[in-house]
Amino acid sequence: MNAGELCDELERIYDGGDYPALTVGRPWSSHNPTLVGELARPSALRWYLVRELERLAEAGADLSVSPSRPRIALDDPAMFERSDESNWDLKRKKLFLFPPERMELSLNRLSHYTGTEAEDFQRYVLFTNYHMHVEAFLELYPDCIKPSRANVQMPAFHHVLDDHTGVTLVNIGVGPSNAKTITDHVAVLRPDLMMMIGHCGGLRNRQEIGDFVLATTYLRADQVLDDVLPPHVPIVSNFQLNQLLYEELERRDIPFRMGTVFTTSNRNWEFNQRSPLAEISASRAVATDMESATVAANGFRYRIPSSTLLVVSDKPLHGQPKLEGPAREFYESSKRQHVEVALAAVAHVRSIFPNGLPSADLRSSDEPLMGGPADGDD
């Protein structure tokens, strides 16, 4: 069977009430010649499965599909236990990063939080915490898929193109908890990139309101991932994605600065300055926000290339706090340009890296397969 036919069979088994299993024979591997993985709702990540199965077939892998075991209902108590990532066996290579129960739960929650179906998500995902960016996105793509109901927590908007090569924008709201929640679930879809577009406090004298910030690395004071990803683990933006964002900013002659973004869970850190200012100084941070490091850290944790493009909306250390009147004027003048720069970089990624951004720097010893011997995978 070709990749499309294999996916058809995966979906048939799932629709019939079982989790499907994919078996991959890898003649090039002496340590892991055969891998078997289960999955749920394969229709939601069909584009990804087709691409990776084609790559495996071209590399000489033997591929087969079979029923694994009966599906578990979302309200079954066993769902809670089997979704626990702390039960992962780090000594064995896995075919899929997540067990099927975790996939099932996350795909359902994506619909709950965003008001759209998991199948609507495109392979390039942008996150914002401002409705003005949604307005700009809708001006560019008025026919995009929108939430099916009002008052969802994190509304998503999908500019759909063939083979899921379009762009999804999700308004995640404010704070690292929301950023972790949405990226926990989006990660199941295996997007080709995640990018945070938002506002920040500028921390340097020569920055002006409206200047852009392109994050190179992050200082994680958000704390929400500390239990699963120690704060001392370095998190950096994807080099190729940053290079494309850099070139687009240069082409448009937009003032910007590259550097460390300080992400905090405390919106009012200015009221207790001693500790955060010491961290800001030690890290040479150029900007502060509440989401970027969380998105990037979860991207690293789940092997998804990511980056951050922010705009300076205030300068708390220089007598320019965010105030209602000036902030409203700034929002109106900056929103379209901000979205357009991000989308232009995505268009370059689509053209230059149609099979996904290089991500060897995100791999670990327990890296899931979905690759061939050319990736150095054994």
CATH of the domain at 308: 3.40.50.1580
> Does some domain include residue 336?
yes
Question: Do 6 and 115 belong to one domain?
Answer: no
Model pLDDT, residue 89? 64
Question: Do 39 and 139 belong to one domain?
Answer: no
| Cα(102)–Cα(88) distance, integer angstroms | 12
Model pLDDT, residue 375? 47
Question: Do 177 and 294 belong to one domain?
Answer: yes
Model pLDDT, residue 361? 78
> Does some domain include residue 35?
yes
> Does some domain include residue 62?
yes
Model pLDDT, residue 124? 98
**Among 181, 184, 224, 218, which residue's Cα sits nearest to residue 200?**
218
Question: Do 56 and 133 belong to one domain?
Answer: no
Model pLDDT, residue 373? 39
Model pLDDT, residue 372? 39
For 28-57, the pLDDT digits (tens) are 888 888 999 999 999 999 999 999 999 999
> Does some domain include residue 226?
yes
Model pLDDT, residue 78? 87
Question: Do 126 and 66 belong to one domain?
Answer: no
For 317-359, the pLDDT digits (tens) are 554 556 666 656 666 767 899 999 999 999 999 999 999 998 8
Model pLDDT, residue 224? 94
Q: How many domains does the chain have?
A: 2
Question: Do 178 and 318 belong to one domain?
Answer: yes
Question: Do 114 and 65 belong to one domain?
Answer: no
Give ∠ CA 318-323-326 in degrees, rounded to 5: 95
Model pLDDT, residue 187? 96
> Does some domain include residue 370?
no
Contacts of 124 (CB under 8 A, 6+ apart): 165, 166, 167, 168, 191, 192, 193, 195, 346, 349, 350
Model pLDDT, residue 359? 81
Q: Which of 26, 46, 71 is the C-terminal boundary of a domain? A: 71
Low-confidence ranges of the chain (pLDDT < 50): 319, 371-378
Question: Do 270 and 331 belong to one domain?
Answer: yes
| Residues pairing with 258 in the sheet | 214
Question: Do 32 and 154 belong to one domain?
Answer: no
**Rg of the chain (C-alpha set):** 21
Question: Do 42 and 156 belong to one domain?
Answer: no
For residues 272 and 316, the answer to whether their CB atoms sit within 8 Å is no
Structural domain span for residue 320: 107-359
Question: Do 20 and 123 belong to one domain?
Answer: no
| CATH code (residue 18) | 3.30.1730.10
> Does some domain include residue 372?
no
